[in-house]
Structure 1
Amino acid sequence: TGYTLKGEKTFEIDIEQLVKACGVEFVKKVDPYDLEESYQAVQEALAFDGPSVLITYRPCALLESEKRKPKTPFMVIEEECIECGACHKLGCPAITKVVGNTVIDYNNCTGCSMCEQVCKPGAIVTTAK
């Protein structure tokens, strides 16, 4: 990150180069918010004959510094939702059930889009649309 645990500025370490210097041949950077890309990368890493490393390059959405950034939350279109539960399986604290309906808490949604990606009927959409 270029910062120490105390938050002081320091040099940034290139994790990819560090891992390659240790002799790891399969090194791949992935966006952890892109579920399809992440799934594919895990499959490739598992299939590789030898050590493999996947590097995710986004900060945790639950960090205070990330929570303060501008975001575009998501919402559930009730009429489109079939209550399959796929979004609930993500474990997102913003997704809950209220009176039998799935809702996304605008204030807790980080805008990561993972719920939208797993919603097969397309009932979860960005509030920007």
Structure 2
Amino acid sequence: MEYGLVVVWWVAYVVLGLFGLPVAARLCSSLPGRGAGFSLGLSFAVFGLVGFWVGHLALGWVAVIAGLAGLAVCAMASVRGGVEVDRRAAAEVLVVFTLVYLVVIAVRGVDPGITPDGEKFLDFGLVMSLYRAPT
């Protein structure tokens, strides 16, 4: 397993979650943790929707950069609006996310096999059908 890529993806998820913290705190201000648990999902929603819409015009890095820019604009608007982020709740979410991420990596590192009842079986079948298809 390439652990460098594991770290790169973990950092990417954490950065997306950090950009989503002010937006989640603004939208979920009445919740106890001010929405810290929703920050990563909210980040993916904003990033994915903006990237999807821009991807209809120009696919590739343009859509990725537009998605990141859309998330950054939402985060900056929330910060300028004076929203406060619950740092303790954010730290708790980061710890839980990191532990779950490491457990998933450990399971995939020990047993990366393809089983008939899992998602990788479908991926394997699709890749093999593309491999056998004429060009």
Shorter-chain TM-score tier: under 0.3
Q: Structure 1 or 2: larger helix share?
A: 2
Q: Structure 1 or 2: larger strand share?
A: 1
What TM-score comes out, normalization by structure 1 length?
Answer: 0.22
What TM-score comes out, normalization by structure 2 length?
Answer: 0.22
Structure with the bigger RCO (C-alpha within 8 Å, sep 6+) is: 2
